[in-house]
Amino acid sequence: MSIMDYNGSAMVAMKGKNCVAIAADTRLSQQLCTISQNMQKVFKVNDRCLFGLAGLATDVATYSKELKMKTNMYKLTENRDIKASTFTDLVATSLYEKRFGPYFVVPVVAGLDDKGDGEYEPVIASYDYIGCKEQSYFACAGTSQSFLYGVCESFYKEDMNPDELFEAVSQSLLAAMDRDSLAGWGATVYVLTPTEIIVKNIKTRQD
Amino acid sequence: MDFGNDLDFLDQPEFGEPDFFTKAPIELMGPTLGLDIHQNEADFEEADINEDIGEIKSEGFCFKLAPDECPSEFARSLKHLGPKLADFKHGTTTLAFEYQDGIIVAVDARATQGAFIASNKVRKVIEINEYLLGTMAGGAADCQFWERYLAMQCRIYELRNSEKISIAAASKILADICYSYRGYGLSMGTMVAGSDLKKGAQLFYVDNDATRVRGQLFSVGSGSPFAYGVLDTNYKWDLTTEEAIALGIRAISSATHKDSASGGVVRVYHVNNQGGWTKIHDQLDVNEDHYKFENSKGLRGDGKEGFGKLKL
Amino acid sequence: MSKMDFHAKLAGNIFKIDNDDTEKAPAMERGFNPYVTNEGTVAAVAGKDFCKVVGDTRCSLGYTILSRDLSKITKLTDKVVVATAGMRADAIALHKVLLTRIKTYKAKFHKYPDIDVIARMLGNTLYGRRFFPYYTFNLLCGINSEGEGAIYGYDAVGSYDRVNCGAMGSGSELIVPILDNQIKDHNVLEPEAPSDTEIVENVLRDSMHAAAERDIYTGDGLEMFTIDKDGIRFEKEPLRRD
């Protein structure tokens, strides 16, 4: 068993029209044994950007704090919130900093870039654990990655509104988690719109 | 109606009539089963293992062996030779216990290949015949095949001796098979539960090392530590059947909750002391049972009681 | 080798038996490994009175494509087909064995075996190679004697079960959750089993395209078999070829 599968996780992010969504399971486990059903895997950068970390739980905790520190420093020096697209680069460089002693995490970033006139550009980025960035319509990470890719290919369509996006993301996540023995035990979906962050807990299977 | 080995019987006018087959010799019906091997009980355990020719002939079956220096090592190391080749489904929770009114057998229904859940609806109780049940843990094919074969042997015993086989003897047949294939990588952890009129319900544990133990309470599989926890706390001999069924379900549900390689549905069987068994629950969703149980304790069931405090 | 020698050798080996999965793989030390994987994907859905099977036609070895047009699905009788992912050589050998045994059955009983009979036969054929398995993952699909669609899914050594939909091969991990959601209606509040052949066909086609998109061993061509009371129909269409 690889170190990336030691604590299971399922994470998916998807683009919509003027909105993005990111969802993750809430299970903390040590291989086959469940330890907690309340693990936080998605973190807030600011009102326009969220990121999730899949992978080794101890590194998730450390690396999320490191990113928090870096974004706070950015805010103090620049006196403004970091843009989502800038944040995706920050994640890539800070992962590569640890090229030869990496954190075993796979980040997924979901954010909105302001284009003016009330229009927003959705930003989705996923990485490998040493910081190779890839931007796409949707991003999948964690032990359920391959299941998620299958369902996302099938369920994704262009220009979804927040409600459709919520449905697509949660159905993708549920379908994938039900086939992955290492992820599950509750899930949280975050839909980011220009005006609000909608957070919903989904009732899932508990086996 | 002596056909010999030629196919002349095909030309006979009555060929194909239902009546024809009831009179046909049994080796004609199923030559590959080779029912004629056991002329007497003595050759029963003789497995003719001929590694030079590359086959094992035993019990009327012929298993082909790999053309390798050591075929048994080849068979044992299958799981390393190809991905998913013999990725045996170790993840499981099965339990059975004797109590005053028989035996309760309860199992989960998940099959995993690595982390992938291959199925959530597997049948892990094998209905061997109308008075014998076998459970399945380890290699699904091994359990299914040999317990099917055990059913055949039990029927043959009945025909030869005009009485039903005892549970002890039936479980010994299975243990003998495991013994004759020792070292070839069979993988089974099974509980044989059955009932005969002489001794009532009896429970045996048989595994691939040919261990065979009679006992009162067993649990097998990756979820068994969790199931034992619930069982040992609540088990007593004087349980009523309703209480015993509820205990079986409770133990499996708890195990499926903590153990990720177990899950799906619970199936429950009751073996009575009068020489038979009944199916109590064909499929009871462990998820619904979990929420029902947690709600009855005043909990939400998803473990998110303190979630409001969590900050983004 | 005499029988005595063999048993002595066996006794020596028994102490080395280790069922622990975490044991380090001796794959490098072993000289003889006849298994390669040619992968590819097959999937099937059974409806009320029909059964649909799809498979891709790519045959690959590592990163090399050996063939772009090699069928994974073989017709066994007028009501039953077998779809096999895994090692091509074993699959071809297995299909030949199945066809031979069905022909023998026909000669003996003057009728073709029903799908449940073939299912048991395939299970026993696979288990007959328990110690030297066929490296194949099978879906046996067709309609049974009552005219219902039936699918039997197998592991490599012959454990089998009847299912109402399934996928095998390298793309199965991508396809199975889609079928769970669309066919089995998991996590849907008002489940409604699809009876329309067109819906089933679209789900299967869509999931194969999803697999071809993300799995390098799946692609090139898509074969679709439809089995119903009128017999077996066959269609072919392209999948992505990169």
CA distance A38 to chain B (A): 6
Is the pLDDT at B40 greater than 60, yes or no?
A: no
Cβ of A22 under 8 Å from any chain C Cβ? no
Q: Which of B86, B117, B136 is the last residue of a domain?
A: B86
Query: Domain C41-238 maps to which CATH number in 3.60.20.10, 3.30.559.10, 3.30.70.20, 3.50.50.60?
Result: 3.60.20.10
pLDDT of residue C163: 92
Q: Is the pLDDT of residue B41 over 50?
A: no
How far is residue B105's CA from residue C33's CA, in Å, rounded to a whole number? 41
Q: How confident is the model at residue B301 (pLDDT cuts 50, 70, 90)?
A: confident
Please compute the mean of the pLDDT values over residues B93-104 and round it to a whole number.
96
Task: Give me Rg for the CA atoms of chain B.
Answer: 23
Residue A46 buriedness (CB in 10 A; 0-12 / 13-18 / 19+): middle
Q: What are phi and psi of B268, to 5 degrees?
A: -125, 135
Q: Is C15 helix (H, G, I), strand (E, B) or coil?
A: coil
Q: Judged by CB atoms within 8 Å, which residues 109-148 of C form the interface with B?
A: 109-110, 123-124, 126-133, 135, 137
Domain final position from B36, B54, B86: B86
Residues 4-43 of C with CB under 8 A from A: 22
Beta-carbon pairs below 8 A across chains A and B: 83
Which of the four pLDDT bands, split at 50, 70 and 90, describes residue C83?
very high
Higher pLDDT: B85 or B47? It is B85
Structural domain includes residue B309:
no
Least CB-CB distance to B85: which of C10, C35, C128? Answer: C35
Please compute the mean of the pLDDT values over residues B119-132 and round it to a whole number.
Answer: 93
Task: Decide if pLDDT at B311 tops 70.
Answer: no
Position A66 scores a pLDDT of 96
Q: Is A76 on the interface with B (CB under 8 A)?
A: no
Tens-digit pLDDT profile for residues B163-213: 999 999 999 999 999 998 888 889 999 999 999 988 999 999 999 999 999
Residue pLDDT, tens place only, B241-277 = 999 999 999 999 999 999 999 999 999 999 999 999 9
Distance from CA of C112 to the nearest CA of A (A): 37
Answer with the one of B86, B108, B133 that is the final residue of a domain: B86
Together in a domain, B131 and B216: yes
Confidence tier at C27 by pLDDT (50, 70, 90):
very low
Do B106 and B216 lie in a common domain? yes
pLDDT greater than 80 at residue C212? yes
Burial class of residue A103, CB neighbours in 10 A (0-12, 13-18, 19+): buried
Q: Is B92 a catalytic residue?
A: yes
Q: What's the average model confidence in pLDDT over C47-72? A: 94
Contacts of A146 in chain C (CB under 8 A): 173-174, 214
The domain locations on chain A are 3-202
Task: Show the tokens assigned to A178.
Answer: 């039900």
Give yes or no for residue C18 having a pLDDT over 70. no
Chain C neighbours (≥3 Cβ pairs under 8 A) are A, B
What span, in angstroms and rounded, lies between the C-alpha atoms of A67 and A87? 9
Residues of B in contact with C33 (CB under 8 A): 81-82
Whether domain A3-202 has CATH 3.60.20.10: the reply is: yes
B135 lies in the same domain as B207: yes
- In a domain, residue B20? The reply is yes
In sequence order, which residues have a C-beta less than 8 Å from that of residue B203 and are 6 or more positions away? B96, B97, B98, B103, B191, B192, B193, B214, B215, B216, B218
DSSP state letter for C24: P
Please give the average per-residue pLDDT across C87-94, as a whole number.
95
Q: What is the pLDDT of residues C159-205, one digit of tens each?
A: 999 999 999 999 999 999 999 999 888 887 777 766 788 999 999 99
Interface of B with C in 23-62 (CB under 8 A): 28, 32, 49, 51-52, 56, 61-62
Confidence of residue B67 (pLDDT cuts 50, 70, 90): confident
What region, left, alpha or beta, does residue B255 occupy, with left being phi > 0 and alpha being psi -120 to 50 degrees?
A: alpha
Residue B106 shares a structural domain with residue B149: yes
Which H or E run contains B14?
Answer: none
- Predicted local confidence at residue B47, as pLDDT: 62
- State the pLDDT at residue C217: 95
For chain C, domain boundaries: 41-238
Q: In this complex, which of B256, B302, B312 lies closest to A207 when CB atoms are compared?
A: B256
Which residues of chain A fall short of a pLDDT of 70?
none
Task: Please give the angle made by the CA atoms of B299, A177 and A21, to the nearest 5 degrees.
Answer: 90
Q: The dihedral of CA A30, C186, C227, B122: what is its sign?
A: positive
- pLDDT at position A31 is 86
Q: What is the DSSP string of B46-94?
A: --EEETTTTEEEETTEEEE--SSS-HHHHHHTHHHHSTTSS-------E
Rounded Cα distance between A39 and A27, Å, is: 6
- Stretch among B18-32, B142-156, B217-231 having the lowest mean pLDDT: B18-32
Cα gap A54→A129, rounded to integer Å: 10
Please give the single-letter amino acid code of residue C43: A
Number of structural domains found in chain B: 2
A166 or B35, greater pLDDT: A166
pLDDT at site C1: 45
Among B10-19, B55-64, B66-75, B276-285, the least confident range: B10-19
- Number of neighbours of residue C67 by Cβ within 10 angstroms: 14
A184 vs B87, residue with greater confidence: A184
C-alpha to C-alpha distance for A186 and A202, rounded to whole angstroms: 6
| B164 belongs to a structural domain | yes
Please list every residue in chain B whose beta carbon sits closer than 8 Å to the beta carbon of residue C137: 84
Do B256 and A204 count as a contact with CB atoms less than 8 A apart? no
Residues in chain A within 8 Å Cβ distance of C177: 147, 150-151, 175-176, 178-179
How far is the alpha carbon of B167 from chain A, nearest alpha carbon, in Å? 34
Residue B3 binned pLDDT confidence (cut-offs 50, 70, 90): very low
* Mean pLDDT, rounded, of chain B: 84
Model confidence band, residue C16 (pLDDT cutoffs 50, 70, 90) = very low
Considering only residues B46 and C213, tell me which one the structure prediction assigns the higher pLDDT.
C213
Locate all alpha helices (DSSP H) within chain B, ordered by sequence: 18-23, 26-29, 71-76, 78-81, 140-161, 167-180, 224-234, 241-258, 286-296
Residues of B in contact with C128 (CB under 8 A): 61-64
- Please identify which of the residues B32, B92, B135, B241 carries the catalytic annotation: B92
What tokens does A189 get? Answer: 């979906």
Q: Give pLDDT, residue B7.
A: 61
Can you give the residue range of the structural domain that contains B275? 94-296
